[in-house]
Amino acid sequence: MTQDVEMKEQHQPSNSTTSSPSTLHHLKEIASLIETGAYAKETRRIQRAVRLTNTLRRKLKASVLYAFLNFALSAGSESFNRLISYLPKEDEYEMEVDTATSVTQAPAKHPLPELEIYCYLLVLIFLIDQKKHIEAKACSSASIARLKNLNRRTVDVLASRLYSYYSLSYELTGDLAEIRGSLLALHRIATLRHDELGQETLLNLLLRNYLHYNLYDQAEKLRSKAPRFEAHSNQQFCRYLFYLGKIRTIQLEYTDAKESLLQAARKAPAAALAFRVQCNKWAVIVRLLLGEIPERTVFMQKGMESALRPYFELTNAVRIGDLELFKSVAEKFSSTFSKDRTHNLIVRLRHNVIRTGLRNISISYSRISLADVAKKLRLDSANPVADAESIVAKAIRDGAIDATLDRANGWMVSKETGDIYSTNEPQMAFNSRIAFCLNMHNEAVRALRFPPNSHKEKESAEKRRERQQQEQELAKHIAEEDDDEF
């Protein structure tokens, strides 16, 4: 009876603490899930715990974290004291209530390494969400130092998430270059330990680190020499494709860049809107550099209209072939293009605008003087006629237009357009579409998952129901996954 009275007295305080027990209860369930996964050596349970944590991150408070740390770690341990020092001091009454509720649970004297790393992850997520970047840097560095001493496959899932937040905390403070050596050392350790998920995550973080400082050559050298294997995380694979597309674009390999960027945008989760916007921005620029005009539906995707508006106007200028309109759009949205780091690519588009305008002129006129060509293209150079002559000659040599150049009379003579279906262009178009469909089918087949040892033993009806229930829960959590990873 005395215990019941005490419990009632603890639940009577104001409404400010009513949400804490619920969140704390969920955290304790996640901790038990991690313990079960660690003892059974099942990484899927650890992955599920991480997904459940994403749904709770907006409810995390300092008092809740204090109570959970008191439950999961020994009160006088080094990890407990270090993590408590990063938490801000809140209202004393709330802290007393949470500690009182946590006293009922006896803390583990020898906590599992997985649970200890999970505590580091929780505190680090809380500090980043609260914009306490200095404390987040210190916490992430301490967590990485602890991770280096652990070589357990059940820690790999938590470690990969810690690597991401470790890089993010330094990026938010502008000190991303400081951890490049540490990331390289961690990638080497992950390779020696056969931690493929860690290798995948650290490779993307290193590519992001290099691209942040425009070190594209170093990024390509690392990417080409790093070991490749089957992707373990769809999010990490999407990031890899995006970084690969950016590298290929800078290296003028536009066809490969287009394929990588479109694949990254297609594979990205629906919740990762900002990531898909960035993929579409770069894909639009690459397609324009290839001489293609993206469809209007690309710019009208849900939630992307305002973000892609500058690129829509840029595409319209390239499609028309109006050099003046292209210059005005580039100046109007110069700040946006600089922020997206696509300004240098847009400078390359000037040649495409001139070529598009020249193609329109060759279709409209059977014969036109070079002076009129320069006037219609609005060339503002010292000798526009000579520039028009060189532009026309280069376009004829590259096969952009079907015409001849009469230098004696200063004319450009267009040839009659024949039947396009008598050429190989329809065959090439159909071949590219068929190849795209076959590649998508092969990727879908490779992405299929099968239960282990399904060909050796027949499962009972009860096991089959349990497996189907787990698969449904897994699909539900994946569908509800937030875009915090992007």
State the residue for tokens 């494709």.
241
Check: CB of residue 261 under 8 Å from CB of residue 226. no
CA distances from 222 to 42, 116, 179, 196, 446 (A): 32, 32, 16, 16, 26
Q: CB under 8 Å to 70, separation ≥6 — which residues?
A: 80, 98, 99, 102, 103, 107
Q: CB under 8 Å to 100, separation ≥6 — which residues?
A: 10
Distance from C-alpha of 449 to C-alpha of 189, rounded to nearest angstrom = 29
Taking phi over 0 as left and psi of -120 to 50 as alpha, with beta for the rest, 451 belongs to beta
Nearest Cα residue to 161 out of 218, 205, 95, 191: 205
Residue-wise pLDDT for 424-480, tens only, equals 878 888 988 899 899 888 888 877 766 555 555 555 667 777 777 877 777 666 666
pLDDT at 204: 92
Distance from C-alpha of 440 to C-alpha of 274, rounded to nearest angstrom = 24
Angle at 149 between CA 144 and CA 152, to 5 degrees: 100
Residue 13 has pLDDT above 70, yes or no: no
Residue-wise pLDDT for 115-150, tens only, equals 888 888 888 888 888 888 888 888 888 888 888 888
Chain centre to alpha carbon of residue 31 = 28
Residue 48 has pLDDT above 70, yes or no: yes
Q: CB under 8 Å to 168, separation ≥6 — which residues?
A: 128
Our separate counts of H helices and E strands in the chain read 24, 3
pLDDT at 362: 76
Question: What's the order of all strands across the beta sheet hosting 403-406?
Answer: 367-369, 411-414, 403-406
Count Cβ atoms within 10 A of the Cβ of residue 423 and give its class: 0-12 exposed, 13-18 middle, 19 or more buried.
exposed
- Across the range 245-270, mean pLDDT stands at 90
